[in-house]
Amino acid sequence: MSGNRDTAKSFLYSTELALIVAIVVVVTATALIDSNHTYFNKPEVSVRDIARNLSLLGIFALGAAVVIIAGGIDLSAGSVIAFSGTVCAGVLLLLTPETGPAPAGAVVLALGAAVLSGLGIGTLHTWLITAVRLPPFIATLATLVGLRSFARALCEFITFQAQGSRNSQIYVNHPALAYLRQNVWVSFVVFAVLALVTWLILSRTVLGRHIYALGGNEQAARLSGIRTENVKWVAYCFSALTASIAAIFYIANESVANPVNQARGHELNAIAAAVVGGCSLQGGVGTVSGTILGVLFLRIVIDAVAKIIKTGSDVYEGLIVGCVVVLAVTLTQMQQFLASGRQVFAGVRGICAIPTLALTAGLIAMVTFGPWVGLGVGVLLLLILSGIKVGELSRNS
């Protein structure tokens, strides 16, 4: 009985419940503010669009979450998608006869090549981190930049060999990929299966306990007999593998492998979804359910921006994602702040942060809603934050 009460109490204070409430609030607000009331008038279209984008982001966000729980970071997912997509489309182009569609065997080889390229990239990451001793941030930053450039060169090489001219894109029109594009449920099922497998590994296997132990304290994990380098290899290979699987759906949805722009910047969305879902960048903390809700929340927020701001909504997408991540992490840290008695705006840096935050919020409101709204938001936030600072001073005096 006491165990049930503890479980219920922990759920009330969990990240998952907070995200469920936030998702309901965002959906309700969007349905009311959207001038076209798309959620009410076209519910099937809205659900299909959200499911498609949720699946694509969710597939490689699971990989990002596993690496973060293991105490690492993978910045390369967007470039892995571009590279694996180019490999898949390139193999398909090279094996396609001049007339007629590619045979089924060519499609299987192309999909297999994309998956193998992901596993190879994950192995490369692990080697750079464990053998060369590069920090994960540097190793994956290098492949973030290098892989996209390599994909562009590979794309031009393949098109020259197959078509006699160098092109920056490879178009794919095979019926199998068209089927993936027209049937959203396929990508959704793949996402669901990957989520189930990831949950089983993390919560029901020794490997999962080793991943959490590695992220919690690598030195202690090594001293306890865990082969930490092998665990890192699994984590980074899983991350690259999920990105390469997502690449297949990207080129299917867009009917083209475009290494210049395809999935550019999406690695940050995956990391943001994992962090919003409760994964700690310090490692050792995170759940699959939280990551799924983090992906859903992020996609609904981005979808809400597109529905409310009819023109040029993509300009605000990065801004919204950044603000959501900062707010989510700040709220998760707030409980520790209150428990430890630390000040949010301590010292001179805290005093300087108050006008900086107010000015930033005012500028964002100004470019979004106009100068008077921006002025009002800036002044209001300045007063609120100053009040918090005064409260902190009076509490410690």
77 found inside a domain: yes
Quick check: 76 and 145 in contact, CB under 8 A? no
Strand partners, 256: 171
CA angle 230, 73, 79 (to 5 degrees): 100
Q: Which range marks the domain in which residue 352 is found?
A: 343-396
Is the domain of 104 the same as that of 222? yes
Quick check: 336 and 286 in contact, CB under 8 A? no
> Both ends of the chain: CA-CA distance in Å?
44
Q: How many structural domains compose the chain?
A: 2
Quick check: 331 and 354 in contact, CB under 8 A? no
Reported as a single tens digit per residue, the pLDDT across 293-304 is 999 988 888 888
322 found inside a domain: no
18 found inside a domain: no
CATH number of the domain where residue 255 is located: 1.10.3470
Is the domain of 358 the same as that of 257? no
Show which of 275, 301, 327 is a domain's final residue: 301
Reported as a single tens digit per residue, the pLDDT across 119-158 is 999 999 999 999 999 999 999 999 999 999 999 999 999 9
Report pTM: 0.85
Show which of 268, 284, 301 is a domain's final residue: 301
- What amino acid occupies position 152? R
34 found inside a domain: no
366 found inside a domain: yes
pLDDT of 128 reads: 94
Is the domain of 71 the same as that of 191? yes
32 found inside a domain: no
Rounded CA separation 132/134 (Å): 6
Show which of 250, 270, 301 is a domain's final residue: 301
* Weakly modelled stretches of the chain, pLDDT under 50: none
* Measured CA distances, 180 to 3, 36, 44, 251, 254 (Å): 45, 29, 18, 10, 11
311 found inside a domain: no
Is the domain of 384 the same as that of 284? no
pLDDT of 28 reads: 87
The three-class DSSP label of residue 171 is strand
Is the domain of 83 the same as that of 208? yes
Q: How would you label 217-237 residue by residue, b for 16+ Cβ within 10 Å and e otherwise? A: ebeebeeeebebeebbbbbbb
26 found inside a domain: no
